[in-house]
Each structure stands twice: as C-alpha cells, then as structure tokens.
C-alpha cells in the first residue's frame, strides 16, 4: 500500500513521474518503446492472440443473447463502433466478415499499425473462416484476401483521438469495448460520445476490468491507495487505468442519459481484500462502500432510454435480451 514502504514508494513514484513526462513529450515513441499491446505483458503466440479475439467476439453475442448461427443476420447492414481495440483490430475484422456494413475503431493511443505481428493474427482469423463469411473476410482487405495489405477503408476506419472519442452522430448500431473503459481519460466524455454515436435502436456492450492495474506490492487494489494528484502526476499521459469504481460508472451513466439494460459483476473481491486496502485508500475513495469496492469487473449493456418502446416485439434476440429489466449486482 502507498505510504507503507517509504523508500520503495519514493522510487516507484519518481519513476512514474519521470516516465509520465516522457509519455507527455514523446507520446508516439513512448507507445512504441513500451510495446503496449493492450493484452498485458504475457508473451502469446499469434494463435493465442487470435483465439483471444474470437472469444471477445463471441462474448458480445452471448451477452446480447444472439445465437452463433444468427450472428450474420444480426450484423447485416449494421455499423459497429469499438472503443480501445488494442494493437490488432481483430474484433472489427470479425464483425465485418460476419456481415457488418462498417466498423469504426477509436483509441486514445495509436497502438495499431499494420505490422507483421498484427498481419499474422488477421491471417489466422481469416483462415478460420468458411463460405460466405470467408468471402466477406477476403474482401475486407485492400488487396483481396491479403491481410498484409491492411483493412480497407471506408468500411473499416481507425481513429486516434486525444480522448478516444469517435465524434459520430446517430451512426452506430452496436458499440463494443473490452478492457477499454477503465482506461478512458474522461469517462463522462466517452459516455457522451457513445450516446451521440448510438442510433435510437442501437445497443452498447462493454466488458470492464476494474482490477487490471498492479503496483509493486501486487495487491489487486493497492493502486487505489495513491492520492489522486500523485496518481495523475504518475499516469496522466500513459495508457493507465482511470481507477473509477462502479459507483462512478452508475453516476456517469445517469448523468449522460444512458440506460443500463444490464450491469453484472464478473468478479467480486473477498471482504479480506477490501479490509486490507480500506485503511490506506486515497481520500477520493473513502465514500465508496465495501460492496462497490468489491466489484473487480463487470459487463454493461446500454441503450438510449427512448429505444425501449421501439424494441418491443421486434423478435430480434438481442432486443429481447436488452428488454429484460436491469439486474443490479450491488
């Protein structure tokens, strides 16, 4: 916990502040030098990365209640917007191959650039496809069936923006993100962007990891013990988590006029973990209840409030799932 091992803390903080300044002054070089992929430091084979993106892709439809055989029908004609795709726009590619009309990826950091590594992942994913899905997959690239040529615009767009905002208006039918909202440097602006981008009957599905940040003592929540100003001095220009807890997400959703169709924890911390961190929490977290602190991740499905009436009786499984009343885990 911050403040318990003064010398180690001082080293950690000074290193954090220095690297934050490097990230401020040389953002592109910093991203390149740190080799941030978005999937953590574990070395994975291209096959493992491709399988990870397959699981991300299928998770969204499972949460929406769309059976695998219906994914193509569901995506047909739709525009998908993804926040924070990481270093390979693999989910966007799978969405396009399965029938989406267009896919827009938006990120605060330009982690993606066509490279041998990202090409290899896309090549493996393409090789996994059959029939009409394969033919659509082939057509996603600038040169037919050649992932090395890069994903072709205008159906695919990759946008880098200082706050990770798309600037779209009434365009997105499906908005997705995985392990990205916890990185948003202005969460309210991200939700406002999402609201503006969503079509009236659109839907957004997000998986958020609230325990992804490890400090040098490896306690899952010790990063919440750094005072807010210090955390900002160490991290504001880096690809680091914003530390907001579930209570803040609920508040911002309400403020931005978005309706949580479902909000479910993925992992809950034991009371022991909470008790260990509670005495050392930064003052900005003092008001967070034990229950809310225990949320270490969640799935969130959102829509615009006006879309409720339009969704009834559509027969669309995603709409049926979305019409279920929100269940609150905390």
Residue 297 Cβ vs ligand SAM, minimum distance, rounded to whole Å? 12
174 in Cβ contact with 81 (< 8 Å):
yes
Q: Identify residues 221-260 at the interface with ligand SAM (CB under 6 A).
A: 239
Q: Minimum Å distance from CB 169 to ligand SAM?
A: 18
CA–CA separation, 315 vs 201, rounded Å?
A: 14
Selected from 2, 20, 38, 57, the binder of ligand SAM by CB under 6 A is 38
How far are the Cα atoms of 168, 201, 276 from residue 197, in angstroms, in the given order?
5, 11, 41
Strands (DSSP E) along the chain, which ranges? 79-83, 102-107, 141-143, 146-151, 156-160, 172-178, 198-209, 259-268, 295-303
Q: What is the DSSP letter of 297?
A: E
**What totals of helices (H) and strands (E) does the chain contain, helices first?**
14, 9
Return the closest-CA partner of residue 242 out of 269, 272, 268, 208: 208
* 9 near ligand SAM, rule: CB under 6 A: no
39 binds ligand SAM (CB under 6 A): yes
**Cα separation, 330 vs 317, whole angstroms:** 26
Measured from the CB atom, the residue of 86 and 202 that comes closer to ligand SAM is: 86
**160 lines the binding site for ligand SAM (CB under 6 A):** no
Q: Which is nearer to ligand SAM, 137 or 164 (CB)?
A: 164
CA distance 76 to 318: 13
Under the criterion CB under 6 A, does residue 179 sit at the interface with ligand SAM? yes
Tell whether residue 184 is a contact of ligand SAM (CB under 6 A): yes
Quick note: the x/- pattern for ligand SAM over 100-129, rule CB under 6 A, is: ------xxxx-x------------------
Residue nearest ligand SAM, CB atom distance: 164
Q: Does 93 bind ligand SAM (CB under 6 A)?
A: no
Among 25, 163, 251, 310, the residue binding ligand SAM under the rule CB under 6 A is: 163
**What minimum distance in Å lies between the beta carbon of 238 and ligand SAM?**
9
Provide the 3-class DSSP secondary structure of residue 149. Answer: strand
Q: Rule CB under 6 A: which residues touch ligand SAM?
A: 38-39, 56, 83-86, 106-109, 111, 163-164, 178-180, 183-185, 190, 239
């Amino acid at each position: 916990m911050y403040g318990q091992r003064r010398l180690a803390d001082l080293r950690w903080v000074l290193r954090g502040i220095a690297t934050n300044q490097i990230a401020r002054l040389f953002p592109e070089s910093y991203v390149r030098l740190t080799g941030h992929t978005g999937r953590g430091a574990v070395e994975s084979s291209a096959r493992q990365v491709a399988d990870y993106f397959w699981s991300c892709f299928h998770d969204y439809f499972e949460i929406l209640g769309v059976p695998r055989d219906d994914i193509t029908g569901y995506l047909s004609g739709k525009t998908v917007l993804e926040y924070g795709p990481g270093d390979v726009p693999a989910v966007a590619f799978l969405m396009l191959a399965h029938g989406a009309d267009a896919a827009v990826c938006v990120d605060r950091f330009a982690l993606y650039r066509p490279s041998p590594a990202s090409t290899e992942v896309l090549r493996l994913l393409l090789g996994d496809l059959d029939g009409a899905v394969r033919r659509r997959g082939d057509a996603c690239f600038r040169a037919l069936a050649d992932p090395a040529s890069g994903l072709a615009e205008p159906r695919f767009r990759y946008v880098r923006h200082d706050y990770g905002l798309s600037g779209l208006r009434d365009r997105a039918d499906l908005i997705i993100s995985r392990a990205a909202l916890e990185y948003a440097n202005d969460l309210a602006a991200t939700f406002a962007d999402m609201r503006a981008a969503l079509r009236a009957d659109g839907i957004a599905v997000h998986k958020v990891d609230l325990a992804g940040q490890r400090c040098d003592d490896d306690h899952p929540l010790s990063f919440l013990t750094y005072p807010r100003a210090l955390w900002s001095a160490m991290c504001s220009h880096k690809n680091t988590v914003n530390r907001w807890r579930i209570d803040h997400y609920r508040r911002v959703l309400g403020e931005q006029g978005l309706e949580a169709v479902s909000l479910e924890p993925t992992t809950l911390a034991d009371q022991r973990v909470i008790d260990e961190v509670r005495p050392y929490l930064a003052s900005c977290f003092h008001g967070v209840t034990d229950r809310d602190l225990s949320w270490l991740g969640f799935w969130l499905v959102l829509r615009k409030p006006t879309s409720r009436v339009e969704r009834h009786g559509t027969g669309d499984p995603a709409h049926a799932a979305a019409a279920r009343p929100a269940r609150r885990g905390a």
